[in-house]
Amino acid sequence: MNRTTIEDALFPDCPIRNILARISDKWSLLVIYTLDKSEKAPVRFKELQRRIPDISQKMLTVTLRTLEEDGYVTRTIYPEVPPRVEYSLTGRTKSLLPHINSLIGWALENREPIMRDRKRAAGN
């Protein structure tokens, strides 16, 4: 999937599909949430990788680049040996956090009934 060009064939100017497709993939919201919940900001790449142990290095790199392209994450490179790279949330993302936190709260409240419904649908 080309992560930089996501358009609806019927409604190419629709901002909802384009924006949601970029932040609602498997990892983007988790990376944003992890950056927000970090005790210290900004966060280095390896620290993010430790906090999200099931994400591969490649997928974390792709996700961070996509979030940076859309202005959700700032990447700062320090000219040191070895180079130090840190990531932090932008003001745009901080304005999105209340909505993400509401979604997380909703998921926590509804997790058990959703899991029961899944089991019932699967015939278990």
Q: What pLDDT, in 10s, does the model give residues 30-82?
A: 999 999 998 778 999 999 999 999 999 999 999 999 999 999 999 999 999 98
How many Å apart are CA 36 and CA 82, to the nearest integer? 26
> Does a structural domain hold residue 95?
no
Inter-residue contact 55 to 49 (CB < 8 Å):
yes
Closest CA to 89 of 33, 46, 51: 33
73-78 and 84-89 strand pairing: antiparallel
Q: Which single residue is written with the structure tokens 């901002």?
A: 15
Per-residue DSSP letter, 13: T
Q: What is the pTM of this model?
A: 0.82
Evaluate whether residue 81 is within a structural domain.
yes
What is the 8-class DSSP label of residue 25? S
> d(Cα 3, Cα 103) in Å, to the nearest integer?
23
Give domain status of residue 41, yes or no: yes
What is the extent of the structural domain holding 47? 15-90
Which CATH number characterizes residue 86's domain?
Answer: 1.10.10.10
Query: At 73, which helix (H) or strand (E)?
Result: strand 73-78
Q: Which residue has the higher pLDDT, 102 or 39?
A: 102
Give the residue-averaged pLDDT of 10-37: 86
Q: How many domains does the chain have?
A: 1
pLDDT of 8 reads 61
* Mean pLDDT, residues 109-122 taken together: 96
> Whole-number mean pLDDT of the chain?
89
pLDDT for residue 27 is more than 80: yes
- Residue 30 covered by a domain: yes
